[in-house]
Amino acid sequence: MTPEQHTEKARKYCAYRERCSREVSDRLRQLGAEEALRQQIINRLKEEGFLDDQRFAKLYARGKFLNNQWGKVKIKAELLSRGIDDTHIMQALSEIDQQQYSEMLRAILNKKYHSIREKNRTNPEERTAAYAIQKGYEPGLVWQSLKEAIK
């Protein structure tokens, strides 16, 4: 493939949905592009507006929070694994409304707690907290919210 064909493939890849630089680099590597060419293409896509890691981080954080009900810890870990800069991650997480975050956590805890209690399982509080922590919510906030949610 020529460099222009690689660039066009990358544009289409980015146009389909929002991507981060690492995803585009990995895709170009699969297509057989060398490291120097991959970096040139990524820089060009950034200039053209096809690629923006900060925009990706914001959309990813909002989507995972609203659709998958993930907590900030899990979202941050996923963004770090995708090579997103800490400043972009912190800005993306700061855009999650704190009141909505707390309400989502309480709803998750309430639903999980009552489903565990209906099955007569032991330690419903611990199991509920473990579930929320696994979804990426902060342990201190989970235990505090759990006391409020199961009243």
- pLDDT exceeds cutoff 90 at 151: no
| Domain hosting residue 132, numbered range | 98-149
The residue from 64, 79, 94 where one domain ends is 94
- Tell me, yes or no, whether 87 and 104 share the same domain: no
- pLDDT exceeds cutoff 90 at 33: no
pTM: 0.87
Residue 120 region, left (φ>0) first, then alpha (ψ -120 to 50), else beta? left
Rounded Cα gap, residues 42 and 52, in angstroms:
10
Report, as an integer, the average pLDDT of 24-50.
91
- Tell me, yes or no, whether 38 and 59 share the same domain: no
- Tell me, yes or no, whether 111 and 123 share the same domain: yes
pLDDT of residue 148: 79
**Angle between helical axes of 86-94 and 72-81 (0-180°, round to 10):** 150
pLDDT of residue 57: 95
Rounded Cα gap, residues 98 and 72, in angstroms:
11
Rounded Cα gap, residues 36 and 18, in angstroms:
23
Rounded Cα gap, residues 38 and 44, in angstroms:
10
Residue 18 region, left (φ>0) first, then alpha (ψ -120 to 50), else beta? beta
- Tell me, yes or no, whether 109 and 129 share the same domain: yes
Rounded Cα gap, residues 52 and 135, in angstroms:
27
- Number of separate domains in the chain: 3
